[in-house]
Structure 1
């Protein structure tokens, strides 16, 4: 039995929690065991994970706990390796994940108040928790499972101070069977600890990346000297955004010294031990000075790379942990096989505009509809209308538009706006009396942290101005690209327009590989229908990781959707990682 007294106890004996974060939803299930075994070999005795609401209830009232979403199987795999589990099942997770794990369909309620005591929101949380904890509750340590702790909300002190909201979450968790100790995690600023903790019901833990003595001192002053100290997120890396110039990297030697100090004083959870991949359209974004979406890789400069290789950081941490572990740690594991499959040539290419009817059903409206109003979560929306008589357009503006828009006139690109450029006045010439305006808007990832959570509707929410007046009469083509098999490659291709490119890769044996997207513009890649994630010529990521389980022996189909008209007639599969 797990208990929190002046320290953490298991079956009456003090234990040192050495935990690493792995997000099951960022790793293909076939590799869960490999990544967990490597955690044990580094010296970990616990794995920590979030449970993202938008993964498990992708559409309101429709739940998914299969495949990569099978959280129970992930936890059972950890138990089979004698690992404890910490679960953070909050409605909100941050995690540099799309909308911080919140489902976008919440935004259909124009009055929605997120992460606070707003009854319609709490009603939806209640319904979700009832289903989620049917998966989690039987796996608690009190029921013979490996789960020793669960977290209430996530870094709530940096968002709000609504203790009534926290109280409801605790009540719901207990109502649906949670009886292991509860925890919170926050920064150590006094406001954060005061705002986000609920000490009567949940043990406070803290998050930091350096100067652990100071942060543990702040926590100890807050909770007293007779409680265990734990860093729930020891930030030993950081995420990377598109356009950063390079991957974020940290000094593992200094972090190893910090780890030793932490373990001398308390308990640790590495964030991240293994980051994984933002497959599909699930990368999050931040908004501080400007909108900043994250790359497809969630490598995080973690001890275990995105593709599961050990690093010098891993070895340095392992050496420190061995000093706190009486038993000899397992031998270093072998890397997962990687293969250079070479280059494959283009089979066929077709334009998006010629495939609209087979990929989407047009929705008519006098005004522009947001992605959420179209019952769409991710991907793209194409807005279409006739521009009227030929004339000069001296004041063209896209109002309330997120996140990136390309304007085409009769299929030719006129302009592109992104982030802060959106809404800026533009001028151009309408050269014919019968012109079609297409506006392709991309959701590049909803913000996952901070006050901008409330402003995450995508598409065009306010309207389009032409010569200072709103345009009416729009046909909307939702393009979530969840039906890539409906692309008809027999249809024509027009250069310099958004397109689909078809490649085929034939292999005798499956292995991990990397697709090199150098020379391509912007878009997403599908392998056998699986959305690997985004690429973008601005970098710093130019290669996409392809886990072997996504491939199949024999013929594999690769489809590249590209929006800038920057395409190549071959695709390179290499065994060389991005760095």
Structure 2
């Protein structure tokens, strides 16, 4: 592709000609790289001419100053495939992306600093953004359309009007983006409600709107903010996400979504959110917090036109029919052969209790008082706090101060209580059977940092203040970091003791001759996460609605494969099942 131009005037112009953006969202970091081409080919076949993606800061800079743009994070390769297929790209590289993603894409290490303020001109935050942008735009700037690449638009921040109203912050981000060589047009996106669009807009960036219904009404509101400029829905929500404990998998009315899509295309441009949701691999699900914590499930199927495992749905066909009235449709022809297979029952061969091997998994940090995950250099997973108790003192009451999100308390390795969210705020009476215990263990799970709203600055995980015993602070703690990654899994010694009813690891080795997509059914298991050949597939929980974890074929080996299940409730089975369908309820 030669160098081109993209302009915003009374409408969008591609190489000087009017252009209607028909885009769909595909997050490269929620899809294994081997399937990027397949998902993008299916986007193009639905009639889309553009793909939109967020960029997750927390994955690209997992530790401060350490950057990763390889494997599932090879953004250059993703954009090269986009261009190879004749598609254009909208990139939203905001420090904050929301996206039902852990901490809205912000890196957890920001919270290691006391006094950190997010999404504002607080200098330590802005300095971190600046350093990240310096690395990120080395990749993105050469991929702009006027540099012979596919990128036509960049977004400044994301739904900022629902969070704050500091125009100087948006201006600082815009200036930094431009200083890093961005020359294509800039946009903002906000919900068309209240003063969100006013708060989130800034000069020299086109306001766009995010909504899922009542297209004509929402576009009328947007018109008041764009003047004579083009109308665009940056996030046309055609589905929704699921949280643990929801009654069922969320779906939307296909006919209504198709009708709204038609209304949008009649008057302007659109980005379908999501075209393909993908998966929150690696404990990367986010959470919402209104009256209570609502942590998102591992699947990000979103009831999108393309399912989590890449299948064309009835919604896909309905939207393709609508788009076909506005543009010529390519054939439904795809180059990647993807098969599904049920590998059936696989048996647990080894098991070991967490408490038996915790010193093998993590060297303990000594601290007078409990400190948060972030303060000990950990971002995700679980953290264990262990302390000795005085034999001659009856432990009658316990209260955790500054704890998030879910804590399991043990006395002498006997389960006392599991506390979630608001339960962590209360003082708890301890039964007499535990009064003279010699050891206390508290296993705390980061269930996913909140990704939207005013609770974002209160997302330190673990215990960030104190453990009160008999209403006074208890000192003397060993802290074990348990990130549930491949390095930690390699240290599991299954020859040590297993005790039923306690948090434990389970190992399953299975042999296959052919690799295919499959679904790991966790029915009968309690709560935890699963690693396949060292790759963290995500969380499971018998609360539902998700009961099966998607396993893309590229994660499997022809020959032997290893599953390691970490289960925290003492609820396990002798086996698991692999099925050929997602089983979303």
TM-score, length basis structure 1: 0.98
Indicate yes or no: 2:153 matched with 1:149: yes
Corresponding position of 2:379: 377
Corresponding position of 1:479: 482
4+ residue segments displaced more than 4 Å: 332-335, 430-434
Q: Deviations over 1:5-43 (max 9, x none)?
A: 111111111111100001000000000000000001111
Indicate yes or no: 2:495 matched with 1:490: yes
Contact 2:394 2:435 in 1 (8 A): no
Which among 265, 268, 292 is matched to residue 267 of structure 2? 265
TM-superposed deviation, 1:332 = 5.9
Query: C-alpha separation between the residues in 2 aligned to 1:336 and 1:229?
Result: 38
Query: C-alpha separation between the residues in 2 aligned to 1:285 and 1:577?
Result: 22
- Helix, strand or coil at the partner of 1:100: helix
Corresponding position of 1:420: 422
Contact 2:396 2:435 in 1 (8 A): no
Structure 2: which 5+ runs fail to align? none
Corresponding position of 1:31: 35
Which among 274, 294, 297 is matched to residue 295 of structure 1? 297
Q: Deviations over 1:498-554 (max 9, x none)?
A: 110000121111100000000000000000000000000111111000000000100
| Closer/same/farther in 2, CA of residues 388 and 314 from structure 1, 3 Å limit | same
Q: Return 328-337 or 362-371, whichever deviates more.
A: 328-337
Equivalent runs, 1:347-386 vs 2, <5 Å: 347-386=349-388
- Helix, strand or coil at the partner of 1:373: helix
Contact 2:403 2:464 in 1 (8 A): yes
Query: C-alpha separation between the residues in 2 aligned to 1:538 and 1:433?
Result: 34
Corresponding position of 2:135: 131
Corresponding position of 1:530: 535
Corresponding position of 2:53: 49
Equivalent runs, 1:392-471 vs 2, <5 Å: 392-428=394-430, 429=432, 431=434, 433=436, 435-471=438-474
Contact 1:282 1:445 in 2 (8 A): yes
Query: C-alpha separation between the residues in 2 aligned to 1:168 and 1:67?
Result: 31
Query: C-alpha separation between the residues in 1 aligned to 2:457 and 2:322?
Result: 42
Corresponding position of 1:12: 16
Indicate yes or no: 2:256 matched with 1:254: yes
TM-superposed deviation, 1:328 = 3.7
Query: C-alpha separation between the residues in 1 aligned to 2:155 and 2:582?
Result: 35
Contact 1:309 1:336 in 2 (8 A): no
Contact 1:393 1:427 in 2 (8 A): no
Equivalent runs, 1:179-190 vs 2, <5 Å: 179-190=183-194
Contact 1:392 1:430 in 2 (8 A): no
| Closer/same/farther in 2, CA of residues 390 and 413 from structure 1, 3 Å limit | farther
Equivalent runs, 1:189-268 vs 2, <5 Å: 189-198=193-202, 200-224=203-227, 226-268=228-270
Which among 497, 501, 505 is matched to residue 510 of structure 2? 505
- Helix, strand or coil at the partner of 1:308: coil
Q: Deviations over 1:191-226 (max 9, x none)?
A: 11111001x2211110110011111101112221x2
Equivalent runs, 1:102-141 vs 2, <5 Å: 102-141=106-145
Contact 1:351 1:497 in 2 (8 A): yes
Corresponding position of 1:562: 567
Contact 1:391 1:430 in 2 (8 A): no
Contact 2:41 2:85 in 1 (8 A): yes
Indicate yes or no: 2:74 matched with 1:70: yes
Query: C-alpha separation between the residues in 2 aligned to 1:531 and 1:139?
Result: 31
| Aligned length in residues | 576
Query: C-alpha separation between the residues in 1 aligned to 2:226 and 2:557?
Result: 53
Across the aligned residues of Structure 1 and Structure 2, the Cα RMSD in angstroms comes to 1.2
Query: C-alpha separation between the residues in 2 aligned to 1:201 and 1:120?
Result: 26
Query: C-alpha separation between the residues in 1 aligned to 2:523 and 2:436?
Result: 40
Query: C-alpha separation between the residues in 1 aligned to 2:583 and 2:377?
Result: 36
Structure 1: which 5+ runs fail to align? none
Query: C-alpha separation between the residues in 1 aligned to 2:149 and 2:333?
Result: 27
Query: C-alpha separation between the residues in 1 aligned to 2:427 and 2:436?
Result: 23
Query: C-alpha separation between the residues in 1 aligned to 2:118 and 2:233?
Result: 26
